[in-house]
């Protein structure tokens, strides 16, 4: 990768004495879809939260659009186009759908009605229910709302933490379809998934994390084709019910 839009070198994340991420490095080309896969506790969320500025790294270097952003807080990064869809969606259930979407643009100081309208065009189900509390949406619809809220911030790089978690297979298909559209529109995507096979099928490049370290990386198709990697790290195909 010659000139990545995002690069992470020797990243370390610690929680007190627990070293959750050790020397993780990866690079993301503009317009590509990169996935970080690994089992529970592998360190996927810790990596993505450090990149988005939610967590302060214990060491290493994060570069976004050629600038060192290792210690840049999340609210500043959102304004620069590095936006995360958090694990577990983090929808504000008592606020309306529209109010949740407005939160995606609070850093601009405006209402961002234009970007909200664009998001409504893409997600008609949210447009129809804009005045309802977000808590009235189904799990799948709440995931769409979380993605839509991130889109309102006009990301150049979108970081997604387990967007398919806990959703029925049909809704998982829908989520992956939306991710494909986001990528096709030119937004770079970093996708964290336990659903490794599915994520690798959608990705250009993949990194397999285990116990806080990258144990395999390469073109996603190559990782999927390597039976040893599939057996050792990717396990059986899971459905939400099996998890
Ligand atoms: N706030 C915290 N305090 C202490 N330890 C933590 C904290 N958050 C995560 N950890 C530990 O760091 C390690 C990596 O956790 P992390 O959440 O990054 O993994 P993950 O790959 O996202 O897992 P999952 O698939 O379950 O979401 C785990 O051992 C976890 O117990
Ligand atoms: Mg996680």
Domain extent at residue 42: 31-48+73-204+215-234
Q: Which atom of ligand 1 is nearest to the CA of 46?
A: 18
Residue 104, pLDDT score: 84
- Ligand 1 in reach of 42 Cβ (< 6 A): yes
Q: Where are the beta strands (DSSP E) in 143-193?
A: 157-161, 188-193
Q: What is the pLDDT of residue 233?
A: 77
List, edge to edge, every strand of the sheet that includes 59-64.
18-28, 6-15, 59-64, 67-68
153: CATH = 3.40.50.300
Calpha distance 99→149 (Å, rounded): 10
Evaluate if residue 236 carries a pLDDT over 60. no
pLDDT (0 to 100) of residue 234:
73
Rounded distance, CA 82 to CA 157, Å?
Answer: 5
82 band by pLDDT with thresholds 50, 70 and 90: very high
Rounded Cα gap, residues 164 and 169, in angstroms:
9
The tens digit of pLDDT for each residue in 212-232 reads 999 999 999 999 999 888 888
Task: Characterize the bridge pairing of strands 157-161 and 82-85.
Answer: parallel
Q: Does residue 3 lie in a domain region?
A: no
Q: Residue 27: beta bridge partners?
A: 7
Average of per-residue pLDDT across 156-185: 94
Assigned domain for 65 exists: no
**CA 13 to centroid of ligand 2, rounded, Å:** 14
pLDDT at residue 231, as a whole number: 80
The span from the CA of 158 to the CA of 160, in Å, is 6
Beta bridge partners of 8: 26, 62
The pLDDT of residue 188: 98
Residue 242 has pLDDT above 50, yes or no: no
Instruction: Decide: 35 in ligand 1 pocket, CB within 6 A.
Output: no
Q: How large is the C-alpha radius of gyration of the chain? A: 17
Q: What are the tokens at 223?
A: 């990782």
| Ligand 1 mutation pick, 46, 165, 233, max ligand atoms within 8 A of CB | 46
The answer as to whether 23 is a domain residue is: no
Q: Report the domain count for the chain.
A: 1
pLDDT at 88 over 80: no
How distant, in Å, are the alpha carbons of 62, 81, 105, 149, 236 from that of 77?
Answer: 12, 6, 13, 15, 36
Residue 47 has pLDDT above 80, yes or no: yes
Q: Order the strands of the 205-210 sheet from edge to edge.
A: 82-85, 157-161, 188-193, 33-37, 205-210, 213-219
Q: Which ligand 1 atom minimizes the distance to the CA of 45?
A: 22
pLDDT beyond 90 at 96:
yes
115 within a domain of the structure (yes/no): yes
Mean pLDDT, residues 9-30:
97
The protein residue whose alpha carbon is closest to atom 30 in ligand 1 is 41
Question: Residue 165 C-alpha to ligand 2 middle, in angstroms?
Answer: 10
pLDDT score recorded for residue 83? 96
Q: Does residue 9 lie within any of the structural domains?
A: no
d(CA 149, CA 36): 22
Q: Tell me, yes or no, whether 83 lies in a domain.
A: yes
Mean local confidence (pLDDT), 73-91: 90
- Mean pLDDT calculated for residue range 184-198: 93
Q: How confident is the model at residue 110 (pLDDT cuts 50, 70, 90)?
A: low
What pLDDT score does 206 carry?
97
The pLDDT mean for the chain works out to 91
In a domain, 11, yes or no: no
Do the beta carbons of residue 165 and residue 87 sit within 8 Å? yes
- Chain segment 125-152, per-residue pLDDT in tens: 999 999 999 999 999 999 999 999 999 9
- Across the range 107-124, mean pLDDT stands at 83
Supply angle C-alpha 123, 125, 128, rounded to 5. 115
H runs (alpha helix) in 52-185: 74-80, 97-103, 113-122, 124-128, 139-152, 169-184
Question: Per the domain annotation, does 15 fall within a domain?
Answer: no
Would the pLDDT of 111 be above 70?
A: no
How buried is 222 (Cβ within 10 angstroms: 0-12 exposed, 13-18 middle, 19+ buried)? Answer: middle
The pLDDT-based confidence of 2 (bands split at 50, 70, 90) is: low
pLDDT at 41: 93
Instruction: Give pLDDT tens digits for 31-41.
Output: 999 999 998 99
Tell me how far apart the alpha carbons of residues 22 and 49 are, in angstroms, rounded to a whole number: 14
């Amino acid at each position: 990768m010659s000139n990545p839009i995002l690069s992470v070198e020797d990243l370390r994340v610690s929680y007190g004495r627990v070293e959750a991420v050790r020397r993780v490095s990866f690079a993301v080309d503009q317009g590509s879809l990169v996935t970080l896969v690994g089992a529970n506790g592998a360190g996927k969320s810790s990596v993505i939260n450090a990149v988005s500025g939610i967590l302060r790294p214990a060491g290493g270097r994060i570069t976004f659009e050629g600038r060192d952003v290792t210690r840049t807080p999340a609210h500043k990064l959102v304004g620069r186009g590095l936006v995360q869809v958090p694990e577990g969606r983090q929808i504000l259930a008592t606020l309306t759908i529209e109010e949740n979407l407005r939160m995606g643009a609070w850093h601009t100081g405006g209402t961002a009605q234009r970007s909200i309208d664009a998001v409504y065009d893409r997600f008609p189900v949210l447009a129809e229910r804009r005045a309802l509390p977000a808590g009235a949406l189904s799990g799948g619809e709440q995931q769409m709302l979380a993605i839509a809220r991130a889109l309102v911030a006009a990301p150049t790089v979108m970081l997604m933490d387990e967007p398919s978690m806990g959703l029925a297979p049909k809704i998982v298909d829908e989520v992956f379809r939306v991710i494909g559209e986001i990528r096709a529109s030119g937004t770079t995507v970093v996708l964290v998934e336990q659903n490794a096979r599915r994520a690798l099928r959608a990705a250009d490049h993949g990194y397999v994390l285990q116990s806080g370290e990258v144990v395999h990386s390469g073109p996603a198709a190559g990782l999927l084709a390597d039976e040893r990697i599939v057996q050792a790290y990717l396990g059986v195909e899971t459905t939400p019910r099996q998890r």
